[in-house]
Structure 1
């Protein structure tokens, strides 16, 4: 017998339909919260002229290939131009997208998707089972793609009829539905004929069409009037422009002057400034982005010693940094935060607590003899990066570490980290849709940071959890794995859970702001 998982709930039932305030409503500086825990904007009075929405985040898009390790802004942009088989409320629940229903076999190896009919790509191609086959087999079989690791357990994809696709797996993929929520469907014919060149035009099935990209300056999209799923939520905006601005103060200043309609990645110390700006609403909520330090633990390295790893985590006063420097967020004592699979409040309180005397004791009992600890980071991974990391360095020094801190640009950081040319590498990761798997696969099941620290028991538990379809069983296995990580010191020293802070013009409505950093502008209205 097959276990069927049939999704029949519509977005309107879940409360994510048309937003209040559309169509010439009164200006409001108070956001409404939707049923999924995201925030929906409320519209103000419409301005004259062409309707253009301009938004800004801190990073540029450096690849338009969904399998090319896209940066955070791309996850929001792909909601404009693409559709996925499965949609999400970003709280771990799923609903129909280009698939109308799905089922999984009892052994977890075969997933059957019934597909939506009558959908066309922007280039005129029909969406069908061939599109699913071409998209997923490219992801599974092309090991030159950066995100291939997510799909490598696919054996094949069968187009059993024009609107039925069956994914055959080598091993069960417990996170299948979540992974499909950020896997845009691609046109099979164009992909076969054009290959990578297809991404110069990025033809999706979404509500917005890709027009142009000027790297470092802007990307432009126009409304797709023929979109299959507008319903009564068709946007009145003609054009959406994305502008990457890495400098926080410039992004905030441009929001205050009205150059931007929405910005993200707002430093906590700029919240009051924006909140006092007429016509601007600030939306702040606990996020699912966690900052962490990869620990290079190869032979002869200081962090090869478990006591040195544990000394580091007990030396850091996370609470003080959150309260005195950041002004937002929360200490990270566990690999995931509340709302993400594997979280346990009781277990969290047992580990990584600030204890400077214990840190000194562990360091004294270790093999560490005062060698220089090379600590590297990219600016911008947390607000006030320099101040935060200088505080960490001071706390480490107090415990007995000899630390050299270097903050550098991203490409150099990635090259050095991949080569294992560091002792501590500071970074962050966001957990989308309540799932920890991108981080667990990238940094634990594979050692992309080249930490050279192996723990077979942790690997075994994570592997079993990844192949478990039952969410409650997966949750328990992850808790066991996370406990071992904490007891061992592990490859990562988890640091701060970051808040998600955005600001938007009160002229906007229909925008959904989620705590996993995703911004859904697909049905934006501007009045």
Structure 2
């Protein structure tokens, strides 16, 4: 039997930044942060993973974006209207947005116009480029010219049926505007030579080592206070944390598990003796991580196809203990369904979820015909090194109800 494992908690977004403390404060001109997973493309049409998305968001903009409260707000589109039947979305563009200066333009740069969005979104759904973001518009847009530039500042999206989440979809990185000149000039190498409109512009990318971005002084929202961003790609989070502690990088996202007790108390608060060296920022992070059951890899008679067995696995895992023991209470247990806290559809009353109940788990196994796990084949938990501690915790929890568990990294 196979389980694809990540975690069972809603994480808290953690940022650790280096603080000069008693040292002479320096003015941050270049932000240096580490991304443990290497980027594979700087083309927004292929920004599927979080590591790609972070870099792409520095370089590109779309029609609309999400503000800090997750509300859709203007970006390159200064305003928009939705028709009464919900089929036509008309966007009115700003006239002060320019692409980054680049050799692909005969005059160095040019203004963004509505036809650029017609081109970019048409390219996104083109089967020839096979963008992982093409699904956004599947069965939602009309067949003939669904993206239409009326004039330089008016762009219209035509749907086949009303779809309320459409504005939210347009905030995704896939929907960023790209210049046709850039795609023509660089071809498939556009992924390594991005040309966007964002607050930062591409300077250099050394594969598997670092990405360098310079400030866009012509950014329509005003230039950043930073002169640039350097993203390193240290896969070993322990090394990255040591680099942060030594002041060689300024920012890491997430906390390497082996450093938790060294830096945080049992309530997830930065230890007082570290306050002069580090700054810890925490905020809710919309990210559901889960234990997935790969039914396609299971045989037709696999016990994992039995609902009671799956429910028993859910009841056998103490999520609260897992967070306390392994994450110093940084995060929230996913005890109310799949939708994370922070989304309007999260409802503990309507969706009570699964609490830790060892006896109920054993009863469910008995009802499924596997008392104390007898007769069940071994379960393989597949994970990676980042989640090995949590995977080991889950394996031990499942052993308490008689399940045999192996871990594959």
TM-score (structure 2 length as normaliser): 0.81
What is the DSSP-based 3-state SS (H/G/I as helix, E as strand, rest coil) of the residue aligned with 1:92? coil
Provide structure 1 residue ranges, at least 5 long, that are not aligned to the other structure: 1-36, 408-527
Contact 1:62 1:70 in 2 (8 A): no
**Residue 141 of structure 2: aligned partner:** 154
**CA deviation vs aligned residue, 1:43-96 (integer Å, no higher than 9, x gap):** 987637x93221113222112122224322333322321122112214221221
Contact 2:319 2:334 in 1 (8 A): yes
Deviation at 1:193, TM superposition (A): 5.0
**Residue 401 of structure 2: aligned partner:** 399
What is the DSSP-based 3-state SS (H/G/I as helix, E as strand, rest coil) of the residue aligned with 2:350? helix
**Residue 239 of structure 1: aligned partner:** 228
Contact 2:59 2:200 in 1 (8 A): yes
What is the DSSP-based 3-state SS (H/G/I as helix, E as strand, rest coil) of the residue aligned with 2:365? helix
Matched, 1:167 2:157: yes
Residues 329/236 of structure 1: CA separation in 2 closer, same or farther (3 Å cut) = closer
User: Which structure: larger Rg?
Assistant: 2
Which residue of 26, 32, 39 corresponds with 1:47?
A: 26
Residues 115/238 of structure 1: CA separation in 2 closer, same or farther (3 Å cut) = same
Deviation at 1:388, TM superposition (A): 1.6
Which residue of 367, 371, 379 corresponds with 1:373?
A: 379
**Residue 315 of structure 1: aligned partner:** 316
Contact 1:110 1:169 in 2 (8 A): yes
Deviation at 1:307, TM superposition (A): 0.9
- My pick for the range that moved more, 74-83 or 203-212, is 74-83
What is the DSSP-based 3-state SS (H/G/I as helix, E as strand, rest coil) of the residue aligned with 2:125? helix
Residues 269/347 of structure 1: CA separation in 2 closer, same or farther (3 Å cut) = farther
Distance 1:393 1:53 in 2: 40
**Residue 106 of structure 2: aligned partner:** none
Distance 2:18 2:393 in 1: 40
Distance 1:401 1:171 in 2: 48
**CA deviation vs aligned residue, 1:171-215 (integer Å, no higher than 9, x gap):** 433322222223321113333454432232211011211011112
Residues 110/367 of structure 1: CA separation in 2 closer, same or farther (3 Å cut) = farther
What is the DSSP-based 3-state SS (H/G/I as helix, E as strand, rest coil) of the residue aligned with 1:285? strand
What is the DSSP-based 3-state SS (H/G/I as helix, E as strand, rest coil) of the residue aligned with 1:55? strand
Residues 285/96 of structure 1: CA separation in 2 closer, same or farther (3 Å cut) = closer
Matched, 1:359 2:361: yes
Residues 195/133 of structure 1: CA separation in 2 closer, same or farther (3 Å cut) = farther
What is the DSSP-based 3-state SS (H/G/I as helix, E as strand, rest coil) of the residue aligned with 2:338? coil
**Residue 137 of structure 1: aligned partner:** 122
Distance 1:402 1:362 in 2: 17
Alignment of 1:480-499 (within 5 A): none
Alignment of 1:66-105 (within 5 A): 66-105=44-83
Contact 1:109 1:170 in 2 (8 A): yes
Residues 64/80 of structure 1: CA separation in 2 closer, same or farther (3 Å cut) = same
Distance 2:207 2:216 in 1: 23
Distance 1:43 1:179 in 2: 37
Contact 1:80 1:208 in 2 (8 A): yes
Which residue of 160, 178, 191 corresponds with 1:186?
A: 178
Distance 2:88 2:369 in 1: 50
**CA deviation vs aligned residue, 1:97-138 (integer Å, no higher than 9, x gap):** 100111222332221111111321113132111111111112
Distance 2:402 2:325 in 1: 23
Deviation at 1:238, TM superposition (A): 2.5
Distance 2:225 2:403 in 1: 58
Distance 1:338 1:311 in 2: 24
Provide structure 2 residue ranges, at least 5 long, that are not aligned to the other structure: 1-12, 103-108, 265-269
Which residue of 85, 94, 117 corresponds with 1:116?
A: 94
Deviation at 1:274, TM superposition (A): 7.9
Distance 2:117 2:77 in 1: 10
Aligned length: 362
Distance 2:141 2:385 in 1: 37
Distance 1:107 1:397 in 2: 56
Alignment of 1:253-402 (within 5 A): 253-267=242-256, 268-272=260-264, 276=274, 278-298=276-296, 299-327=300-328, 328-333=330-335, 334-348=337-351, 350-366=352-368, 369-380=375-386, 385-402=387-404
Which residue of 37, 40, 57 corresponds with 1:59?
A: 37
Which residue of 128, 151, 171 corresponds with 2:113?
A: 128
Deviation at 1:294, TM superposition (A): 1.2
